[in-house]
Structure 1
Amino acid sequence: MSEKREEAVVANKKVVLKHYITGFPKESDMEVLTTGTVRLKVAEGSPAVLVKNLYLSCDPYMRKRMSKHEEPSFVSDFTPGEVLTGFGVAKVVDSNHPNFKEGDYVWGPTGWEEYSLITSPENLFKIKYTDVPPSYYTGLLGMPGFTAYIGFFEICKPKKGEYVFISAASGAVGQLVGQYAKLMGCYVVGSAGSDEKVSLLKNKFGFDDAFNYKQETDLNAALKRRFPDGIDIYFENVGGAMLDAVLLNMRIHGRIAACGMISQYNLEKPEGVHNLMFVVSKRIRIEGFIVFDHYHKYSEFVEFTVPRVKDGRITYVEDVVEGLENAPAALVGLFYGLNVGKQLVAVAHE
């Protein structure tokens, strides 16, 4: 049996970047290849882990990796012709690493392909709770959920009764930030890009209010109507005009957690922010953060969140696309607001 395993080689469908891009990404910027193969055995002496990918996460930060940058970022640019990488949920096929064995379920960085050889398994997390949907580890219990936890609790340091605003609030991160804020006894408002998403925020996630920013001609006025006394905490996912309007409405000693700025990712010349003087006059603290810096708190996050998922105090919405061949369309759709909830791709079902 083991000798047959050593010789087994299977096809390995994958998604590659065809070329560096500018502007909004297109499906044609990526290519699905069916010509690759993979050996279902880790080489003797290698500490790598071979996994079968089950779910892949579509995340906005991946867009920035599709362009060539002169200045280094916290993640490297993709290389045209090579497989895309991101976060995913997988099952271990073979391993020489002491922390992982065949049959384990894991989440972490992986390739956009059917099988991946993980050469840096120290970045993988073994899935402890298998009685929740495994797809949750692309979102709610994976990198986006952990981002929400760190950004809200560690960066914003909320207090009961504070006024909280979240942009892109129905997305993978925002929907959880809002629910954390409600658990803390805060007043919570979110913005989203469709009436369907606004309804989700109010009726499923328990936000006190929400609005469709595409229907607002004056974002400053829209915020003033919902926060007549101002905003204590802003969870920033959008940037640009929304950030400018928020600065006008922040309270003294307000806090802004800068998680992402999706409105700027596809612009060749990013929009300027004109109201930064209010950071001084209102003594606002703005702090950007990268969740990778906080991995030592992942267990704390899971132990806090999972019980609240199981008893129904936290819920989550996923937008699942079936098949690796549909992954490019799913990723592109993020930047047109086509997803409702966490966007992920189901590569295989266990």
Structure 2
Amino acid sequence: MTVNQQILLDNRPTGEAVESNFKLVQSPLPTLEDGQVLVRHHFLSLDPYMRGRMNESKSYAVPQPLGEVMLGGTVGEVVESRHPKYQAGDKVVGMGGWQEYSAVDANVPGALRKVDTTHVPLSYYLGAVGMPGVTAWYGLVKIINPKAGETVVISAATGAVGSAFVALAKARGCRVVGIAGGPEKCSYAVSELGFDACIDYREHTDVKTMAKALKDACPDGIDGYFENVGGYIFDAVLLRTNAFARIALCGMIAGYDGQPMPLANPALILVNRLKLEGFIVSEHMEVWADALTELGTLVATGKLRPRESISQGIASAPAAFLGLLKGKNFGKQLVKLI
């Protein structure tokens, strides 16, 4: 191959993101300079945070530049190296973006990392044993910090973060309740992932019915909540929180298209003396080694068996990404590039 297919952000969304926001182009393979490594990507990660970066408005991350390759995590194989620490054939994880190949400056700390695929499949380094898994670990361990016997809840329960969260929380002796969309996902959450209960938000479409479902699933109240969605689900959870409950605020996918998301009962934060902390996992690199060690062990011992949704080919990435934002994926959303 002498051509690199890439997907650029062509224009910014107005409201809901659409496929025409993206553009597929071809470019010649880059010529390597000293210190660089050429990586052929095997899998591309699609993640909800990417939607926020498509906007120009202020956020925790710099907006995705127009006319440039969409940013994103990748795993793949070194095909050429001009760096002494990397050889052709090495399996690596990095931020190669929405393209088939990337030239990486391997001298930049954290730009590239070798991975061992003996016990952990390569694709898992974009999910359970990658950024989503560490996200689950940080929110649970550093913010919720549960005691054995406590009840913890997570929205988007069957995604990459949720599947890691339940394994980590069960290892700490928690009762774990998920919220997911549709009976198939909820059945999978309980029977395969190990949730004690899972609530179908498509059956409980307002605060009152969701709060009732949470009361039934969490008879002792909620001690910890991992928030990925926002909106009425957050309102319902707040109604069921115990005193001194902890909330790890990771994502607000219900508001990614720009809608405001006011809280119905913010006084509950005071009444229940809640701890509410937002976090960005890339700002906590000091925990990654510990988190990845535990997550890798859970995978290797069969206690974490995440599911993946895989679309084929770089051209499929925009449609797969938009489907992810609507919950059409089942497990970690990836694009297979080989």
TM-score, length basis structure 1: 0.91
Render the CA deviation track for 1:177-204: whole Å, top value 9, x for unaligned.
Answer: 1121112111111010111110110110
Q: CA RMSD in A?
A: 1.6
State the SS of the aligned residue for 1:122. coil
* 2:23 equivalent in structure 1: 31
**Cα drift, residue 98 of structure 1:** 4.4
Is residue 313 of structure 2 the alignment partner of residue 323 of structure 1?
A: yes
- Aligned mates of 2:139, 2:105 — CA distance in 1: 29
- Aligned mates of 2:291, 2:243 — CA distance in 1: 29
State the SS of the aligned residue for 1:174. helix
The letter for the 2-side match of 1:279 is: I
Range moving further from structure 2, 116-125 or 163-172: 116-125
* 1:77 equivalent in structure 2: 63
2:186 equivalent among 191, 198, 207: 198
* 1:177 equivalent in structure 2: 165
Render the CA deviation track for 1:264-299: whole Å, top value 9, x for unaligned.
Answer: 111x33220121111111111011111112222222
- Do 1:230 and 1:251's aligned partners in 2 also have CA atoms closer than 8 Å? yes
Range moving further from structure 2, 75-84 or 133-142: 75-84
- Aligned mates of 1:177, 1:165 — CA distance in 2: 10
- Aligned mates of 1:311, 1:237 — CA distance in 2: 27
**Cα drift, residue 117 of structure 1:** 1.6
- Aligned mates of 1:129, 1:151 — CA distance in 2: 26
- Aligned mates of 1:256, 1:136 — CA distance in 2: 27
**Cα drift, residue 130 of structure 1:** 3.6
Is residue 146 of structure 2 the alignment partner of residue 122 of structure 1?
A: no
Is residue 160 of structure 2 the alignment partner of residue 168 of structure 1?
A: no
Is residue 227 of structure 2 the alignment partner of residue 240 of structure 1?
A: no
The letter for the 2-side match of 1:85 is: L
**Cα drift, residue 313 of structure 1:** 1.5
* 1:342 equivalent in structure 2: 332
Aligned residues: 333
* 2:11 equivalent in structure 1: 19
**Cα drift, residue 315 of structure 1:** 1.2
State the SS of the aligned residue for 2:276. strand
Render the CA deviation track for 1:162-221: whole Å, top value 9, x for unaligned.
Answer: 011111101110111112111211111101011111011011011111111111142222
Render the CA deviation track for 1:54-74: whole Å, top value 9, x for unaligned.
Answer: 1000000000111212x3x33
Render the CA deviation track for 1:98-124: whole Å, top value 9, x for unaligned.
Answer: 443332211121121111122474222
- Do 1:141 and 1:302's aligned partners in 2 also have CA atoms closer than 8 Å? yes
- Aligned mates of 2:85, 2:281 — CA distance in 1: 23
2:86 equivalent among 87, 100, 104: 100
Range moving further from structure 2, 255-264 or 305-314: 305-314
- Do 2:136 and 2:161's aligned partners in 1 also have CA atoms closer than 8 Å? yes
- Do 2:199 and 2:214's aligned partners in 1 also have CA atoms closer than 8 Å? no
- Aligned mates of 1:23, 1:130 — CA distance in 2: 44
- Aligned mates of 2:117, 2:5 — CA distance in 1: 29
**Cα drift, residue 136 of structure 1:** 0.5
Render the CA deviation track for 1:80-100: whole Å, top value 9, x for unaligned.
Answer: 221111111021223334443
* 1:135 equivalent in structure 2: 123
Is residue 244 of structure 2 the alignment partner of residue 258 of structure 1?
A: no
Range moving further from structure 2, 136-145 or 19-28: 19-28
- Aligned mates of 1:272, 1:190 — CA distance in 2: 23
Consecutive unaligned residues in structure 1, runs of 5 or more: 1-8
Change (3 A) 1:294 1:98: farther
1:50 equivalent among 38, 56, 61: 38
TM-score, length basis structure 2: 0.94
* 1:89 equivalent in structure 2: 75
- Do 2:37 and 2:83's aligned partners in 1 also have CA atoms closer than 8 Å? yes
* 1:5 equivalent in structure 2: none
- Do 1:24 and 1:335's aligned partners in 2 also have CA atoms closer than 8 Å? no
The letter for the 1-side match of 2:255 is: Q
